[in-house]
Structure 1
């Protein structure tokens, strides 16, 4: 039984899966600034309402990033705290890979999938995956322009999705650039689906050393000097 958390963006979600892949429960909140105040409550609710206790869990999975610095820090620290308290292993899942898992079954084999998470200005966090979920281009922070993905678009249909795709659509006008009408947001549902495979393969994180995959350093502004 795997409990999965995703706080990579403004979405805060928790899911519980059985060993055979059945989804027992999933709570998702789409309001701003929910992760820090609601996450532990959602964890307790999803486990209790499914008829189990935290002691019944086999592992804790968390979306490790990329994404919001604050959101990732909250999700990973909560997951690590649960693992320490319950003596359970930790599984880290790339947020972009979990987003791809949501839609890949809807596209043919020659299609490439590019999940995008909004960063600053014209920048996105993105990666490119084959239709079978294997990685074609690794995760990166990319400033979009009209030459982005030109080589891939020349040979393949490429589906761009996620909140960062809103920036890409006016720029990527190649006929092979596809943009789904439905929103695709990070979710613990598919973090859990990938975590089940990782659990079966024994792919666990070092609980002491594990950190979120921030991809970029946290940027802040200096406070203005007081006048007078």
Structure 2
């Protein structure tokens, strides 16, 4: 058995979930335009533990969405996760934010899920996943134009807060969109974090940093 706290703050949604052996116990989340993560995150954590009669010392690990995403949002989530892991001497688990988005969609096996995080103007952070949520590309910062993805002949489900701005440009029949914006949620982190916990796929608490992508690419 493993009791894991899952933290997602990479986009406008601040989301925290408690899970036991990969099964959701409870979740608190809110998506706001003004990025209220700093004031909401610790309140959510405390409330979840109290409402479910769980002592913080019972946690076996903390999982955090590692990015890409908002610089400030990622810093808040990762700082909180590292602080808890350090104080409690428990493992830190990092989860790809784009995979968290992808897992909210079920598709046919000959198609692709393309989660997109808005990177301002016509740029998005994106990665391709197959129907089994296996990554089939690297994470990239992509500037969207009418020729983007011309080399791909599969049906593509574009989701995430970066997808809406693609609708007018990428409008052929191979591009499919959700009616509502899908933000990453700690709910989809629960199964991933438990699998990583079982494999001891953990991070060095002292040296772990979020995956900003943009900063990484500018330094290349």
TM-score range relative to shorter protein: over 0.9
- Do the aligned residues in 1 keep the contact of 2:12 with 2:183 (CA within 8 Å)? no
Q: Which residue of 2 aligns with 1:204?
A: 202
Counterpart CA distance in 1 for 2:66 and 2:211 is 5
Number of residue pairs the alignment of both structures matches: 213
Instruction: Choose from 188, 191, 212 the match for 1:190.
Output: 188
Q: 1:88-107 to 2 correspondence within 5 Å? A: 88-103=90-105, 106-107=106-107
Give the C-alpha shift of residue 139 in structure 1. 0.8
**Cα distance in 2 between the residues matched to 1:27 and 1:43:** 8
Please state whether the residue corresponding to 1:172 is helix, strand or coil: coil
Q: Deviations over 1:187-210 (max 9, x none)?
A: 111122211111111100111110
Correspondence for 1:9: 11
Separation in 2, partners of 1:7, 1:145: 28
Larger Rg: 1
Which whole-Å CA distance do the structure 2 matches of 1:50 and 1:58 have between them?
A: 16
* CA distance in structure 2 between the partners assigned to 1:108 and 1:38 by the alignment: 37
**Structure 1 segment 17-28 matched on structure 2, within 5 A:** 17-19=19-21, 21-28=22-29
Deviation per CA, 1:154-177, whole angstroms, max 9, x where unpaired? 2x1110001100111111122111
Please show how residues 160-171 of structure 1 align to structure 2 within 5 Å: 160-171=158-169
RMSD: 1.2
Q: After TM superposition, which residue ranges in structure 1, 4 or more long, deviate above 3 angstroms?
A: none
Residues 95 and 191 in structure 1, CA contact (< 8 A), matched pair in contact too: no
Query: TM-score, normalising length from structure 1?
Result: 0.90
Who is 1:121 aligned against? Answer: 121
Q: What do the CA deviations read for 1:125-160 (whole angstroms, capped 9, x no partner)?
A: 1100011011111111110011111122x2x11100
